[in-house]
Structure 1
């Protein structure tokens, strides 16, 4: 669980997203960050029971709250959320991991999947779907998975991808440029005692999908 004051800090930050206010309230931010670190530490411990995370440390998972505003019209210096990427190698591994997003007013969620793939990775995904989509469909259509992650998120082509027929039996999967799954959490969920357990439940459901996607997106012939 997270403390209510962590969400309260984020709510206040939205209304005061400037460096002067942030520095004046630095102690509150440090407390909120520490609160998230404790939760992530607990998650690493639990996930390590069914997945090898290597020597993953909490610091490897937490994303910075500072925004990169160099190429953005929005010059607000800070994100309005706290977040972490949990998986072998942490947030910067380049692999698909379990993404935890903490944001007040019911905008928190656990997510995972193919998001902003490179052209090469997207081609690998489509090649696999074209060759044999049964394994992927078995994973994402499993009842428990669908109940926890009922909606596929991400960009979808309006037209048929080049090189594939309009009447391809898997055309809807082939049109997808992203295949990301999200389970939302209310503010009440986030501050409940069983919050960590619910996240771990979601991670267990996501694991077969993430394992599958990491294999097809990152596997090379040299590894055979």
Structure 2
């Protein structure tokens, strides 16, 4: 199972013709491209279930909510899917986005609630060595570099934390996300689904550590 060239061509054409008239005229092409992407997302889901427990898989709608957006184009020029891990003990989630010249996968903790974020920050404050160990791991670095992405960071340490803490760069983060980009050529290759799974497997030490943090207190006792 792989992404077809025609699927990416549809997305490229949509980028240039993002209006309802064009979309309506090309609806049959959209349906084929959507199904191709859905099949690939299903194959990725199948692979994930071989080594993780997934509670929910959700394909994002192509229709944009423009009510509160400055960008009034009606459609997203991408296909994307999220995978949620099972239950309270297996935290974190996976994400994949297929878009010409902007394809990527991600995994981690996008917008943790305030309780979870506070617990992670307290762990960092007490001892960030295990978290730093993830960032230094060769397998993690091969796929994701040596950092966590975050959709938004504080300018200084959060309230109640030392602004001169040696790990303030981690304390400032509002989320903890690993990301990996793909070229169009990589997305269209026959082994793309396998490459995605290889990267998702590389996330497990990260997920395992953060799941452990979020299900224990600072003494390491289960909560």
TM-score (norm 1): 0.86
C-alpha distance in 2, partners of 1:61/1:212? 25
Question: Is the 8 Å Cα contact of residues 114 and 213 (structure 1) preserved in structure 2?
Answer: no
- Which residue of 1 is the match for residue 124 of structure 2? 129
Match of 1:181 among 158, 178, 183: 178
Question: Is the 8 Å Cα contact of residues 125 and 216 (structure 1) preserved in structure 2?
Answer: yes
Question: Is the 8 Å Cα contact of residues 85 and 92 (structure 2) preserved in structure 1?
Answer: no
Comparing 158-167 and 75-84, the one that deviates more: 158-167
- Which residue of 1 is the match for residue 80 of structure 2? 83
C-alpha displacement of 1:220:
7.8
Q: 1:146 to 1:44 in 2, by over 3 A?
A: same
- Which residue of 2 is the match for residue 147 of structure 1? 142
- Which residue of 2 is the match for residue 118 of structure 1? 113
C-alpha distance in 2, partners of 1:74/1:201? 35
C-alpha distance in 2, partners of 1:182/1:120? 24
RMSD: 2.2
Question: Is the 8 Å Cα contact of residues 83 and 102 (structure 1) preserved in structure 2?
Answer: yes
C-alpha distance in 2, partners of 1:220/1:171? 22
Match of 2:95 among 76, 93, 99: 99
C-alpha distance in 2, partners of 1:220/1:204? 24
C-alpha displacement of 1:178:
2.4
Match of 2:202 among 202, 205, 209: 205
Question: Is the 8 Å Cα contact of residues 108 and 184 (structure 1) preserved in structure 2?
Answer: yes
Q: Secondary structure in 2 aligned to 1:87?
A: strand
- Which residue of 1 is the match for residue 9 of structure 2? 8
C-alpha displacement of 1:206:
1.3
Q: Secondary structure in 1 aligned to 2:85?
A: coil
C-alpha distance in 2, partners of 1:52/1:179? 20
The CA deviation string for residues 139-164 of structure 1, in whole angstroms up to 9 with x for no partner, is 23211101210143222222222212
- Which residue of 2 is the match for residue 38 of structure 1? 39
Report whether the alignment pairs 1:194 with 2:195: no
TM-score (norm 2): 0.86
Match of 2:70 among 43, 54, 73: 73
Comparing 124-133 and 7-16, the one that deviates more: 124-133
Q: Secondary structure in 1 aligned to 2:54?
A: coil
Question: Is the 8 Å Cα contact of residues 85 and 100 (structure 1) preserved in structure 2?
Answer: yes
C-alpha distance in 1, partners of 2:11/2:110? 25
- Which residue of 1 is the match for residue 160 of structure 2? 163
Q: Which runs of 5+ in 2 are unaligned?
A: none
